[in-house]
């Protein structure tokens, strides 16, 4: 699976699927409040559609209907379930990213480069090549 961190204008007027775990939601929840607000701020109000899938609900979604899947960190999932979800998404050809990478990119390209530097270094690259 490739690192998916490119958030460009190609996503404008398109649909995002945000996959959240089903633990109790907080008032300022990262998945249902913070990320949607950042996407609307970045692309403009009314230019993106964000659907949410909680727990096992993602299985009822047609993943190919989306342009980007934004997945939580999977802290409430075991490795097998998380791997199965990522495989399901990969099979559709839809890009996928996680909350942290998306928020880093939406904050600034510099923030994203700091986040991916350890990963890039471990894979014999540089963070700059992932900041597109």
Instruction: Answer yes or no: is pLDDT of 8 > 80.
Output: no
Phi, psi of 130 (to 5 degrees): -100, -5
Place of tokens 């998945």: 31
Indicate the pTM of the whole model: 0.75
Contact 48, 11 (CB under 8 A): yes
Q: For residue range 106-124, what is the model confidence (pLDDT) as tens digits?
A: 888 788 888 888 877 887 7
Confidence of residue 4 (pLDDT cuts 50, 70, 90): very low
> What domains, with CATH codes, occur in the chain?
9-130 (3.40.50.11410)
Confidence of residue 131 (pLDDT cuts 50, 70, 90): low
Phi, psi of 95 (to 5 degrees): -65, 150
Average pLDDT over residues 98-110: 86
Please report, for residues 46, 50, 63, 108, 116, the alpha-carbon distance to residue 112 in angstroms, rounded to integers and kept in the order given.
26, 22, 26, 7, 6
Higher pLDDT, 100 or 123: 100
Contact 95, 67 (CB under 8 A): yes
Output the furthest CA–CA distance in the chain (Å, rounded).
41
Q: For residue range 20-68, what is the model confidence (pLDDT) as tens digits?
A: 655 556 677 888 888 889 888 888 888 888 888 877 667 778 888 888 8
């Amino acid at each position: 699976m490739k690192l998916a961190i490119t958030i460009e204008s190609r996503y404008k007027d398109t649909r995002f699927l945000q996959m959240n775990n089903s633990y109790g939601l907080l008032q300022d929840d990262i998945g249902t409040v913070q990320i949607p607000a950042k996407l609307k701020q970045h692309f403009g109000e009314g230019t993106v559609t964000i659907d949410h899938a909680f727990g096992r609900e993602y299985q009822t979604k047609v993943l190919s209907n989306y342009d980007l899947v934004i997945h939580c960190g999977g802290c409430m999932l075991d490795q097998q379930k998380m791997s199965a979800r990522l495989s399901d998404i990969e099979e559709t050809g839809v890009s996928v990213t996680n909350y942290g990478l998306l928020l880093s990119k939406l904050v600034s390209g510099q923030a994203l480069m700091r986040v991916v530097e350890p990963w890039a270094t471990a894979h014999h690259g540089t963070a700059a090549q992932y900041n597109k």
